[in-house]
Chains A and B, each alone.
Chain A
Amino acid sequence: MLDLQGIAKHFGGVHAVDGVDLTVKRGEILGLIGPNGSGKSTIVNLVSGLFPLTSGRILFEGDDISDLPSHARVGLGIARTFQNIRLFGQLSVWQNLWVAQNSRQQRQEVFFKRWFGGSAGVQAEIERTLEFFDLAHKRHELAANLSFGEQRRLEFARAISARPNLLLLDEPAAGMNAEEVDQLDARIRKMRDDGFTVLLIEHHVELVMSVADRIAVLNFGRKIAEGPPAAVQDDAAVREAYLGTR
């Protein structure tokens, strides 16, 4: 579904991502881990189109999307969350989801209805999402007034609103307590069962090991291992990257 072919991103002399090949298959959860500064978040930013590539290609469903702007990629079905939450603080929870409805099907609605009407179908979809993320009782609250956990959930919900096929989750468990991590685990599994494909960037190794179908490991902007969780755990190069050489 998503094919990264030798992508690289250099910031001046810093090679944040340095020639990574990675494939995300339809319907899987691919965990992407690595020590701090290994280029994980940069990959999310490259795939979602916040930065231009230095070299390489990004294919989505077989089409080259390397030069598309961010918003067009959302239209094709790639949505993301941010590691440091970026909600629309002065918009209500409901509006946060409303403005994010930008998938291809949603764009095909009649112009007037899409921008100025609040159709019943749209309402129902937003309500379903709110329900799933346990935010329905907060629908009129301003996003800025939510608690940290609620803001994380809303960010997740907003990404879902664009009906993506591929979800990029950038450290969704950062700052969560054990109970919230469990809920998140359950939600991600549920989403896979509903047909989403997920690229999960995470520091929380337990969560990744538990939820991911496959795991890729980055270090210094390069991929050093890839495979099922158990195999990656035993990989010598991975141990070395995390624990250092002896």
Chain B
Amino acid sequence: MDLLDLIDAAQSVADGLLFGSTYALLGIGFTLIFGVMHKINLSYAAASIGAAYGSLLLLSGFTAAPAVIVFMAAALCGGVIGALVYFIGFKFIPVANPLATLMSTVGLLLLIDEIIVHTTEGVPLAYPALYSDVVVRLGQFMLRGDLMFVFVLGCACMVLFLLLLYRTRLGIATRAVSQQPIASQLCGISILQVNVLTFVVTGMLGGIAGAMSGAAIGMLSPLLAQPLTVKGLIVTVIGGLGSIPGAIIAGLIVGALESLFQFLRGVTERDLYIMMLLFAFLVFRPGGIFAKAPGRD
């Protein structure tokens, strides 16, 4: 491999890292819902794409709304969809039936996807990107403006989110519920409230992630839901279930690896290696990147 190839490889890793922030946000959402509910919400990535679509729909009256507004609208839609998902897919199913919840979120995944297909007739929509014409050059190396924007936005969301989780009463209540549901109820925390708020907040994150992937790719398509679900789950698991820093780092790693494999082996084989790596990782290090020593129980 000569120097030029090396630069190209580094370039693809950099692109992947930047796009990986989308995966990181999705990973945080999956992880947080799992932390609070001890259930997976398979419809999460679909809801995120749905929120991105929703933002377009909300703003369809205005011509060429600025991208910032679009992102905020996506977050708003994400929050609303998140709450809906909780009430439809989680609230009324007994806690003792994890399989039923799993299946109901699969149903929601299909439902959200179909609503999108139905309203758009399956045609991909263009999505506004910011700074798509900006390119930062560093010698041979260049960084795409739109990807950098996505990355910065993703990091900003993560910081905001971590502040919310560690500095506010809601965040403390959320963490309390995820660690000791019964004890926190006895301390006067309403589980219902925390659950709904968790879904709303993660929904907002998801909405932004959906908008980010739309902006990075330049368009939105219902076909995005499935790969994003898979990647989001992978990130959650590699990061270690319930670990937020893990999800962030895993998101970036998966983004970078994906891009690197695409460069090395082509687009058709890219995911094959990701999946094999993941399988090996899961089996030999099931606790995730920041695995702790097994505890007493």
Contact = CB atoms under 8 A, between A and B. Distances in A.
Chains A and B directly touch (beta carbon < 8 Å): yes
Interface of A: 11-12, 14, 16
A43 to B, nearest CB: 14
A49 B296 CA distance: 14
B188 interface: no
Interface in B260-294: 293
Nearest to B296: A11
Nearest to B294: A11
Contacts of A11: 295-296
Contacts of A16: 296
Contacts of B296: 11, 14, 16
Majority secondary structure of chain A interface residues (helix, strand, loop or mixed): strand
Q: Which 6 A-B pairs have the closest CB atoms?
A: A11-B296, A12-B293, A11-B295, A16-B296, A14-B296, A12-B295
- Range, interface on chain B: under 10
Contacts of A14: 296
A142 B293 CA distance: 37
A11 B296 CA distance: 6
B64 to A, nearest CB: 58
A165 B71 CA distance: 68
A12 B296 CA distance: 9
Nearest to B292: A12
Nearest to A144: B96
A235 B250 CA distance: 57
6 contacts: A11-B295, A11-B296, A12-B293, A12-B295, A14-B296, A16-B296
A14 B293 CA distance: 13
A189 to B, nearest CB: 33
Nearest to B297: A11
Nearest to B295: A11
Scoring A11, A14, A16 by chain B CB atoms within 10 A of each residue's CB, the highest score goes to A11
B213 to A, nearest CB: 40
Contacts of B293: 12
Interface in B168-226: none
Nearest to A12: B293
A217 B18 CA distance: 61
Contacts of A12: 293, 295
B56 to A, nearest CB: 47
A40 B68 CA distance: 61
A16 B296 CA distance: 9
Nearest to A9: B296
Nearest to A42: B296
A214 B239 CA distance: 51
A201 B96 CA distance: 30
A145 B295 CA distance: 32
A16 B297 CA distance: 12
A14 B295 CA distance: 10
A12 B292 CA distance: 10
B291 to A, nearest CB: 14
A91 to B, nearest CB: 16
Contacts of B295: 11-12
Interface string B88-120: 000000000000000000000000000000000
B182 to A, nearest CB: 14
A12 B294 CA distance: 9
A106 B182 CA distance: 43
A12 B295 CA distance: 8
A12 B293 CA distance: 8
B21 to A, nearest CB: 34
Nearest to B293: A12
B96 to A, nearest CB: 9
Nearest to A11: B296
A11 B293 CA distance: 9
A243 to B, nearest CB: 27
A198 B293 CA distance: 33
A16 B295 CA distance: 12
A6 B209 CA distance: 55
B163 to A, nearest CB: 30
B100 to A, nearest CB: 14
A151 to B, nearest CB: 16
A89 to B, nearest CB: 9
Scoring A12, A14, A16 by chain B CB atoms within 10 A of each residue's CB, the highest score goes to A12
A52 B79 CA distance: 46
A145 to B, nearest CB: 14
A183 B226 CA distance: 59
